Chain A
């Protein structure tokens, strides 16, 4: 993992921009996030404080990895993003120096502002990132126990935290809504599912993931909204003043359970017995929902056909038998990696997630960034973690 420390003060950052600039915030979602200097949340914080200070932030772009110029070029040419990116006059990069150089090479017609100094390589512990292999310029030595980022920043006269960590931006456009009879506040235009969850109402969902677009495909987050025709997927609805929402009643529970059972009937998911370590860690969202709903058997005929597992890729294993076709991997590949390497192949009940032209994963244009694996809510896409033993060095899969 590449270790970086913030090199710019907030005043320096503002000094590098003009209030006439149309600013794009660009963040890598990998090492820099682990260093506390990037990722969706940090980008959102920076956007809010720059907005408050009168700067014109026109877009935020999160990318799975920034040290890959091909991915940056594809993002710039993406038809959904192109106009906003072309219109920008300045790009603020939350990435390591490698990522900064790659972004600068692609946006060479704009002001590109780097925010981090890369100090070497290191690892991640539960207490945060550690620098184990510093560059000589830091004056530090290789150390298996690692140097904390605070220690490194202090030594180099840099900044140990993200921009303005103590500043709380004023909430904007707060409106009152009623959820299950309780008065709540939310931001006008905010995603309804997010707003309900922030107010403590849990709405089951599979296809929605914060940071990705919402297709409303799984139908598990259906809610009732006063005045709306029929049931509405909460992930597709924006908050408006005075909205009255019902997130939980007998009818919604019945419909959600039926939808969940339909999803389970597409393959033999076997959630009660699947991967004991997953249950302990609660990483399979489908399995968690099955437990929450207390589903012990499926009421509909289950498709027992077993599809072949694709383990051709060096890092990713695809098990289509555990896929619910939520499309999160497809959107992660398109929206986070910018690769468009994944899509839906075939039609009807034959539909599968296809890499490239529905070819073995390793033969497709996959960049191996793992955005799809992180997004997958089931065990359909997992990392290849293997234990080899015995004379024949036979591999056995380990689940994290």
Chain B
């Protein structure tokens, strides 16, 4: 699994115009676990964008955003010209390849790769991307991304 961090809301809207017709696509796997995507986060983002006058047409929740067949389930309406993707860079890349003529907007940044313990509701960063080396070995709560106060997963990284 890939741990991600949400970009600030303003960093997302900077990439959008109120003339855009938007479809939101969310992965329901790693980003849900990291608290940066999934059904709830997608609905929150859609509501906020709509309240601020952006034209959000619809949304798709797919099991995983990185394998091509899941992205194939996303059938955009003819008016949609912008796809906002709640997924890691690999999911965003898949959307970018699937919708070559459209604006494809990222909403997260990748932190590292994870070890998971669903019983304890915790993830641990087992390999971190260079910019986030300080997160290596850190643990976070599943679904919220809140840091854990003490080590829960006894695996050396």
Contacts and interface: CB of A to CB of B under 8 A. Distances in A.
A and B are partners in one complex rather than unrelated chains: yes
A132 B68 contact: no
> Which 8 A-B residue pairings sit nearest by Cβ, starting from the closest?
A123-B66, A144-B93, A124-B67, A389-B58, A136-B130, A388-B59, A132-B93, A386-B61
Interface of A: 1-2, 34, 65, 67-70, 96-98, 101-102, 105, 118, 120-126, 132-133, 135-136, 142-146, 314-315, 365-368, 370, 383-389, 393, 395, 398, 400
10 contacts: A67-B114, A98-B127, A101-B155, A143-B93, A144-B96, A314-B28, A370-B63, A388-B43, A389-B57, A389-B58
A370 B118 CA distance: 14
B64 A1 contact: yes
Majority secondary structure of chain B interface residues (helix, strand, loop or mixed): mixed
Contact of B58 (A98, A121, A122, A388): A388
A120 to B, nearest CB: 8
A116 to B, nearest CB: 12
Interface residues of B, number: 52
B57 to A, nearest CB: 7
A393 B114 CA distance: 32
A133 to B, nearest CB: 5
Interface of B: 1-2, 28-29, 32, 38-39, 42-43, 46-47, 57-64, 66-70, 73, 88-94, 96-97, 110, 113-120, 126-127, 129-130, 153-157
A118 B42 CA distance: 30
Contacts, number: 149
Contact of B68 (A102, A121, A126, A368): A126
Contacts of B59: 387-389, 393
Given A67-B1, A69-B155, A133-B129, A98 B113 contact: yes
A68 B117 contact: yes
A355 to B, nearest CB: 14
A208 B6 CA distance: 43
Contact of B66 (A68, A101, A124): A124
Contacts of A314: 28, 32, 38-39
Given A385-B61, A387-B58, A400-B73, A68 B127 contact: no
A70 B68 contact: no
Given A2-B2, A123-B67, A125-B68, A102 B115 contact: yes
